[in-house]
Chain A
Amino acid sequence: MLEIVSWAAVALILFTATTMLIHSDWRITLGALALQYLAMFWLVTRHLPFAMGSVKLITGWMVVVILGMTRLGLTNIEEEEAFFPRGQAFRLALMSIVALVAAGASPRIETSIPGLGLPVIVGGLLLIGGGIIHLGLTTNILRVILGLLTMLAGFEILYAAIESAILVTGLLAVVNLGLGVVGSYLMLAGSTPLESEEDL
């Protein structure tokens, strides 16, 4: 039963990572990110205690809220840069390649690091691949942050299986929150008036 739920989490990860990649609407993208953290939570708790997994889930959702609130408050935002390749078909093809690579590489990783579990490896690799594709396709600040968060989520799924220190979990939560705050700051920068003459 647990295995089936784990594979369902992997399917959810594939769905959310693809949605984030092909949709330009920030509301849908952030919604997908929130769902992604739910799937990540399940996979992380395969190896970490429930409480430590919850930290990652709550942190992730806090990041989604921070980014969402910031984006909501911005009015004069330039649309994402239009540069080739931006077609949805191309992005779908890229995500398919990532899925194929993850499916192909996972059994080998499972052999060399026994005990991780195939769903954990596939889920982790899908997120890492999806995040890196995201970073490669855009220079838009919100999307870069989303790419970094996605990549880190994948890394955290895999790393949770080999390192369960509370300090690491705490610091990774700080890094995730920090990325959210920095992303918000970078989105806001330039949209506020000068603070004082000294700023000139």
Chain B
Amino acid sequence: MSAPILWIVIPFLTGVFIFLISSERYSAWVGGGVSAVLSAVAFFIPIDTALLLGTLSIKIAPAIQVFGRSFELNAADGLLLTIIYGLASLWFFGAKASGSQSRFVSFGLMIVALLTASIAVEPFLYAALLLEVAAMLVIPLLVPSYQRASQGVVRFLTYQTLAMPFILFSGWMLTGVEASPSDLGTTLQAGVMLALGFAFLFAVFPLYHWIPMLMEETPPYATGFLLWALPTFIAIFALGFLDRYTWLRNSPQLMSAIQFAGLFMVASGGIFAALQRHLGRILAYASISHTGLILLAFGLQSPQMAHLVFLTLIPRGLELAVWAFALSIIKRKAYSLQFSDVQGLSRIYPVATAALTFAHLSITGFPLLAGFPSRLALWQSLTNDLLLLFWVFVGMFGLLVAAMRTLAVFVMTEEPGWKLSEGWAQAVMLAVGVSGLFLLGIFPQILQPLLANIPSLFEHLGR
């Protein structure tokens, strides 16, 4: 057995199988179970190392060849796979309880498999193609067959498709830059191409308007999954670029541009979130602001950069899962998710509204919650630039205002008495999610094994 077959082919085929049997009752359990098992295997069985179980010897080979190119997952990727499939299993287990379509799990598994392939493919540049295929698979999740396609979906597809040629061309040009680093013209062209490609992929300002549109028009759970999965793998892909090309990570101009883009996203996302009156749009702007934080971490020219990116990325999966799950439950009661429709909902859905608020506060960087350690580390890294710090604070403050407004709307009722309208499965899952947020916030050292492993994931970053 080889690692790419185990973590790419098997989940993909499982997704196809679930799609074909189309059983709503079991799909969440099968998908979640397969992901959990893959996560456990990645954690307990090291890749490319012989493991003796009595007389039985198990060894997972790291690579396979496909059409002359290789897909490779090394021992260092083990913890990354653990986290990816662990978080994916959370999303899939929650699918049924959130009321998502049955195909969420099948397409979700295929998407995660393709995204895993994007970190395994060599040359790593081909990841752009796999990211595009994954983005196309997201479409059926966003647009149920009975609903007309919205403009947000069309723009999402357009931007993801536009990104691919830029990335592929820039990769080819970067090879030329490597060969003759003194050629400033080619360097500039390659840099611009690369920046445009990642601007489309990361949805950098002003290319992020499709995210609020999606959150308003499409199922929140599926969109939340998209907002977790794609940026996570795109960030890993971008780290690959920085690791591979020395001049990229040593270019102060490029790093300043990345930081500026990130700062703009953090500040504008926070400010716009504070001005929204729609719960879905608030989530959208919060995720934009969070992506901005990841870009800010990218712009840090220090050995801690990769650590900070992962420290910011990992809690994002849990935060968005809890937030989107709670939104899905609320959306069943208040279809529009406008403030006017969710007033006083904390009396009817106390667990969902509380979980939503905690997830929101966590993304804001509230102490004791999962987002806090990464914000603290980021603020410490930015202390030499007060202006930068000020605008990050503005963005985070905007998110906090949005959280307070949401909370105020939830408790705004004159009706006495409480009622627990969530199902037991929903309540348990939300409670587990919120506990995870607190656990990661109070004991951030849980992530230490992964963070310590980062230097082995890359050749140059994190050293």
Binding site for B on A (CB under 8 A): 112, 128, 135, 139, 141, 144, 148, 151-152, 155, 158-159, 162-163, 165-168, 170-172, 174-175, 178-179, 181-182, 185-190, 192-195, 198-199
6 interchain pairs, CB-CB under 8 A: A144-B154, A167-B126, A168-B129, A186-B154, A193-B146, A199-B144
Q: Is the CB of A182 within 8 A of B144?
A: no
Q: Which of B100-146 contact A (CB under 8 A)?
A: 101, 126, 129-130, 132-133, 136-137, 139-140, 143-146
Chain B residues contacting A112 (CB-CB under 8 Å) are: 186
How far does the alpha carbon of A156 sit from the alpha carbon of B410 in the complex, in Å?
52
B139 touches A185 (CB 8 A): yes
Which residues of B are in contact with A by a Cβ distance under 8 Å? 24, 66-69, 99, 101, 126, 129-130, 132-133, 136-137, 139-140, 143-149, 151, 153-154, 157-158, 161-162, 164-165, 168-169, 172, 186
CA of A76 to CA of B168, assembled, Å: 40
Contact B151 A159 (CB under 8 A): no
> With A167-B67, A182-B136, A185-B140 in contact, do A135 and B164 touch (Cβ < 8 Å)?
no
How long is the Cα–Cα vector from A128 to B133 in the complex, in angstroms? 20
Query: Which residue of A is nearest B144, CB measured?
Result: A199
Q: Given the complex, which residues of B lie within 8 Å of A172, measured CB to CB? A: 129
In the complex formed, the residue of B with least CB distance to A175 is B132
- Across the A-B interface, how many residue pairs have beta carbons closer than 8 Å? 100
- Docked-complex contact A166 and B133, CB < 8 angstroms: no
- Chain B residues, CB < 8 A from A158: 169
Q: Which residue of A lies closest to B68 (CB)?
A: A166
Question: With contacts A165-B69, A171-B130, A178-B136 known, is A189 near B144, CB below 8 A?
Answer: yes
Report B-chain residues with C-beta under 8 Å of the C-beta of A186. Answer: 139, 143, 149, 153-154
B147 and A189 form a contact (CB under 8 A) = yes
Q: Which residues of A contact B136 (CB under 8 A)?
A: 175, 178-179, 181-182
B149 touches A148 (CB 8 A): no
Contacts of B169 in A (CB 8 A): 155, 158-159
Given contacts A141-B154, A175-B136, contact A194 B69 (CB under 8 A): no
Further pairs besides A168-B126, A182-B136, A185-B140: 7, Cβ < 8 Å: A128-B165, A135-B158, A159-B168, A166-B67, A185-B143, A192-B145, A198-B99
The minimal Cβ–Cβ distance linking A72 to chain B, given in whole angstroms, is: 19
Decide: B129 and A171 in contact? CB cutoff 8 A.
yes
Q: Which one, B67, B139, B146, B153, contacts A170 given CB within 8 A?
A: B67
Residue A165 contacts which of B67, B99, B130, B148 (CB distance < 8 angstroms)?
A: B67
Of A167, A170, A172, A185, chain B has the most CB atoms within 10 Å of the CB of A167
| A135-B158, A167-B126, A170-B67 given; A152·B139 CB < 8 A | no
Q: B146 to chain A: which residues have CB within 8 Å?
A: 189-190, 192-195, 199
Q: Are B126 and A189 in contact (CB under 8 A)?
A: no
- Please measure, in the bound complex, the distance between the C-alpha atom of A171 and the C-alpha atom of B149, giving whole angstroms: 26
Q: How far is the CB of B180 from chain A (nearest CB, A)?
A: 12
